[in-house]
Amino acid sequence: MPTLLTVILNWRTPEMTLRAAEAALAAMEGLPGELVIVDNASADGSEERLRDGLARRGWQGRARVIQSGRNGGFGFGNNAGIRAGLRDGRAPDYVYVLNPDAFPARGAIAALVAHLEAHPKAGLAGSAVHGPDGTPHHGAFRFPSLLSEVEGAMRFGPVSRLLRRHAVPMPMPAHSGPVDWTVGASLMVRRAVFDEIGLFDDGFFLYFEETDLCRRARQAGWQTHYVRESRVVHIGSVSTGMKHWQRVPDYWFASRRRYLRKHLGPRRAAMATALHLAAGGLHRLRCRLMRRETGDPGHFLRDLARHELRARRRGPEEEGRA
CATH number of the domain enclosing 89:
3.90.550.10
- Compute the distance between CA of residue 7 and CA of residue 23 in angstroms, rounded to an integer: 13
Alpha helix stretches (DSSP H) within 105-164: 108-118, 146-154, 157-162
pLDDT value at position 242? Answer: 61
User: Residue 16 domain-assigned?
Assistant: yes
Give the sign of the dihedral formed by CA 45, CA 51, CA 55, CA 56.
Answer: positive
- Mark whether 230 and 252 lie in a shared domain: no
**Do 94 and 88 form a contact (C-beta atoms < 8 A)?**
no
Return the ∠ at Cα 204 (arms to 201 and 208), rounded to 5°: 95
Indicate the angle between helix axes 14-27 and 46-57, nearest 10 degrees: 40
- Mark whether 222 and 287 lie in a shared domain: no
- Compute the distance between CA of residue 49 and CA of residue 68 in angstroms, rounded to an integer: 16
User: Residue 130 domain-assigned?
Assistant: yes
Q: What is the domain range of residue 186?
A: 4-136+172-243
**Do 258 and 208 form a contact (C-beta atoms < 8 A)?**
yes
The β-bridge relationship of strands 223-234 and 177-179 is: antiparallel
**Do 229 and 177 form a contact (C-beta atoms < 8 A)?**
no
Collapsing DSSP states into helix, strand and coil, what is residue 50? helix
Rounded to 5 degrees, what are φ and ψ at 230? -100, 110
pLDDT in tens, the chain (322 residues): 999 999 999 999 999 999 999 999 999 999 999 999 999 999 999 999 999 999 999 998 999 999 999 999 999 999 999 999 999 999 999 999 999 999 999 999 999 999 999 999 999 999 999 999 999 999 999 999 999 999 999 999 999 999 999 999 999 999 999 999 999 999 999 999 999 999 999 999 999 999 999 999 999 999 999 999 999 999 976 555 565 678 999 999 999 999 999 999 999 999 999 999 999 999 999 999 999 999 999 999 999 999 999 999 987 544 444 3
User: Residue 65 domain-assigned?
Assistant: yes
- Compute the distance between CA of residue 37 and CA of residue 240 in angstroms, rounded to an integer: 18
pLDDT value at position 240? Answer: 53
pLDDT value at position 210? Answer: 98
User: Residue 227 domain-assigned?
Assistant: yes
Tally of CB atoms within 10 A around 244: 8
- Point out the domain boundary residue: 224, 243, 262: 243
- Mark whether 93 and 203 lie in a shared domain: yes
C-alpha of 94 from chain center: 17
User: Which are the contacts of 78, defined by CB distance < 8 A and separation ≥ 6?
Assistant: 7, 9, 38, 97, 199, 200
**Total count of domains within the chain:** 2
- Mark whether 106 and 211 lie in a shared domain: yes
- Compute the distance between CA of residue 143 and CA of residue 301 in angstroms, rounded to an integer: 21
Note the residue count of the chain. 322
User: Residue 294 domain-assigned?
Assistant: yes
User: Residue 153 domain-assigned?
Assistant: no
Return the ∠ at Cα 238 (arms to 143 and 249), rounded to 5°: 60
User: Residue 166 domain-assigned?
Assistant: no
C-alpha of 264 from chain center: 20
- Mark whether 189 and 313 lie in a shared domain: no
User: Which are the contacts of 58, defined by CB distance < 8 A and separation ≥ 6?
Assistant: none
pLDDT value at position 239? Answer: 53
- Mark whether 272 and 226 lie in a shared domain: no
- Mark whether 205 and 285 lie in a shared domain: no
- Mark whether 273 and 310 lie in a shared domain: yes
pTM: predicted TM-score of the whole model, two decimal places = 0.94
- Mark whether 124 and 264 lie in a shared domain: no
User: Which are the contacts of 210, defined by CB distance < 8 A and separation ≥ 6?
Assistant: 181, 182, 183, 184, 187, 200
- Point out the domain boundary residue: 208, 243, 278: 243
User: Residue 13 domain-assigned?
Assistant: yes
pLDDT value at position 237? Answer: 62
- Mark whether 132 and 224 lie in a shared domain: yes
- Compute the distance between CA of residue 65 and CA of residue 55 in angstroms, rounded to an integer: 11
DSSP state of 296: S
- Mark whether 45 and 187 lie in a shared domain: yes
Counting Cα atoms < 13 Å in the Cβ hemisphere of 239 gives 24
- Point out the domain boundary residue: 193, 221, 243: 243
DSSP string covering 3-58: -EEEEEEESS-HHHHHHHHHHHHHHTTTS-EEEEEEE----SSHHHHHHHHHHHHT
- Mark whether 183 and 303 lie in a shared domain: no
